[in-house]
């Protein structure tokens, strides 16, 4: 991980912080050095669990720089956040509203809306979020429990490359805003979540392009007093990192040439099983390029990272740089098959 690139990206986001404060979704990369580097630039943190809270607290970050965008949280996490002074939580169910009323009484609550994730490579809309009518009813319900309905949140899906996804999400959120107003609830807070892309794909909208698009739409669709915030994860850290792997084997099979690395789906490249793409850079080879199926080290057939990759033919033992390597790599890695979890090295 390159500190300068991390800081540069953080500053790119922070340039919009006066209109839309930025909270880094720490799950993308929880390395202490990475968190510290981003914290130093003044960014806040979005967290979902007690261990994440402990990591952030070790940096001396206070409640005003912490949010949680996760709609389902453990009671212990809610209590810990509340006792620290966090007074704003996300939910999308009656059960969560009850939990919040019990462990964080009187808090402001934000409803997670289900929005179209088709512009993203790693959709996040299956598990969380509700439609507009259900959202309005849940806001009214929260009020009966003594909570203060404050706003709406959504996630357009991770690695979202379609600007139009933000338009669709904001239009839906504005419908909820209007329905809530008609039911006597004045919403103020609009959390646009994450989804800002990294260079997994060749063409991605830039951070300024996304913010300008969002600001334009917010100006058109929402009242003037709307308070914005964003929770980018991937875009802050992915491009600042390369995953350094080593070739452990090659094989010529009926369906073509296979290359086996010491890093795979289970120990760093988990997102490869979705629609997230990486590029592979041999560090020594001068051989002609060939087409490869690239796979990880485990004995599991699921452990295939990419197909149809054009790359110079490397030798066993040669280092291959995998880019972008800074987001959802080490954070997702397991010890399956006894593999080591790749270490984060900040330079």
Ligand X SMILES: Cc1ncc(COP(=O)(O)O)c(C=O)c1O
Binding site for ligand X (CB under 6 A): 25, 28, 46, 69-70, 124, 155, 158, 193-196, 231-235
Strands 189-191 and 148-153: parallel
* In the complex, minimum distance from the CB of residue 330 to ligand X, in angstroms, rounded to a whole number: 14
Q: Which is nearer to ligand X, 13 or 266 (by Cβ)?
A: 13
Distances (CA, A) of 90 to 62, 190, 262, 280: 19, 11, 39, 38
* In the complex, minimum distance from the CB of residue 114 to ligand X, in angstroms, rounded to a whole number: 13
* In the complex, minimum distance from the CB of residue 69 to ligand X, in angstroms, rounded to a whole number: 3
Distances (CA, A) of 66 to 31, 37, 115: 17, 16, 24
Q: Which is nearer to ligand X, 71 or 297 (by Cβ)?
A: 71
State the Cα–Cα distance between residues 78 and 94, nearest whole angstrom. 15
* In the complex, minimum distance from the CB of residue 9 to ligand X, in angstroms, rounded to a whole number: 12
State the Cα–Cα distance between residues 35 and 38, nearest whole angstrom. 5
* In the complex, minimum distance from the CB of residue 328 to ligand X, in angstroms, rounded to a whole number: 7
Contact 269, 344 (CB under 8 A): no
* In the complex, minimum distance from the CB of residue 107 to ligand X, in angstroms, rounded to a whole number: 17
With residue 101 as reference, give the H or E element that holds it: helix 94-103
Sheet holding 23-25, edge to edge: 23-25, 44-46, 66-67
State the Cα–Cα distance between residues 235 and 227, nearest whole angstrom. 22
Q: Which is nearer to ligand X, 69 or 151 (by Cβ)?
A: 69
Q: Which is nearer to ligand X, 163 or 304 (by Cβ)?
A: 163
Q: Which is nearer to ligand X, 191 or 245 (by Cβ)?
A: 191
Contact 337, 263 (CB under 8 A): no
* In the complex, minimum distance from the CB of residue 41 to ligand X, in angstroms, rounded to a whole number: 17
* In the complex, minimum distance from the CB of residue 272 to ligand X, in angstroms, rounded to a whole number: 16
State the Cα–Cα distance between residues 1 and 347, nearest whole angstrom. 6
Determine the length of the chain. Answer: 347
Q: Which is nearer to ligand X, 187 or 230 (by Cβ)?
A: 230
The residues, ordered by sequence, that sit 6+ positions from 44 with a Cβ below 8 Å of its Cβ are 21, 22, 23, 24, 61, 64, 65, 66, 67
* In the complex, minimum distance from the CB of residue 123 to ligand X, in angstroms, rounded to a whole number: 10
Question: Cα 80 to chain center, whole Å?
Answer: 23
**Residue of closest CB approach to ligand X:** 194
Q: Which is nearer to ligand X, 235 or 295 (by Cβ)?
A: 235
Question: Residue 255 is encoded by which pair of tokens?
Answer: 């369906």
Q: Which is nearer to ligand X, 112 or 136 (by Cβ)?
A: 112
Question: Cα 195 to chain center, whole Å?
Answer: 6
Q: Which is nearer to ligand X, 329 or 339 (by Cβ)?
A: 329
Distances (CA, A) of 341 to 265, 267, 274, 344: 12, 6, 20, 9
């Amino acid at each position: 991980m390159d500190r300068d690139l991390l800081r540069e990206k953080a500053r790119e986001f922070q340039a919009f912080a006066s209109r839309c404060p930025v909270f880094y979704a720490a799950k993308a990369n929880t390395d202490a050095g990475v968190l510290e580097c981003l914290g130093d630039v003044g960014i806040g943190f979005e967290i979902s669990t007690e261990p994440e809270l402990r990591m952030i607290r070790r940096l001396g970050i206070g409640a005003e720089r912490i949010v949680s965008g996760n709609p389902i949280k453990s009671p212990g996490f809610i209590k810990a956040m509340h006792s620290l002074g966090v007074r704003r939580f996300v939910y999308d169910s009656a059960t969560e509203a009850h939990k919040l009323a019990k462990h964080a009484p009187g808090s402001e609550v934000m409803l997670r809306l289900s929005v179209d994730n088709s512009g993203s490579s790693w959709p996040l809309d299956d598990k969380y979020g509700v439609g507009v009518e259900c959202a309005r009813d849940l806001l009214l319900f929260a009020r009966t429990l003594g909570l203060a309905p404050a706003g709406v949140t959504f996630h357009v899906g991770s690695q979202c490359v379609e600007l139009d996804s933000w338009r669709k999400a904001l239009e839906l959120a504005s419908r909820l805003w209007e329905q809530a107003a008609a039911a006597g609830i004045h919403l103020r807070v609009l959390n646009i979540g994450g989804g800002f892309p990294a260079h997994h794909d060749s063409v991605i909208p830039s951070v300024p392009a996304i913010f300008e698009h969002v600001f334009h739409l917010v100006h058109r669709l929402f009242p003037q007093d709307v308070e914005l915030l964003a929770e980018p994860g991937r875009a802050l850290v992915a491009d600042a990192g390369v995953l350094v792997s080593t070739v452990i084997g090659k094989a010529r099979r009926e369906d073509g040439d296979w290359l086996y690395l010491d890093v795979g789906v289970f120990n760093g490249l988990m997102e490869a099983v979705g629609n997230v793409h990486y590029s592979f850079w041999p560090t020594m080879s001068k051989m002609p390029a060939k087409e490869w199926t690239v796979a990880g080290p485990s004995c599991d057939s699921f452990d295939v990272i990419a197909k149809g990759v054009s790359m110079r033919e490397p030798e066993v033992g040669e280092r291959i740089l995998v880019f972008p390597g800074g987001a959802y790599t080490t954070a997702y890695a397991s010890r399956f098959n006894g593999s080591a979890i790749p270490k984060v090295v900040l330079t």
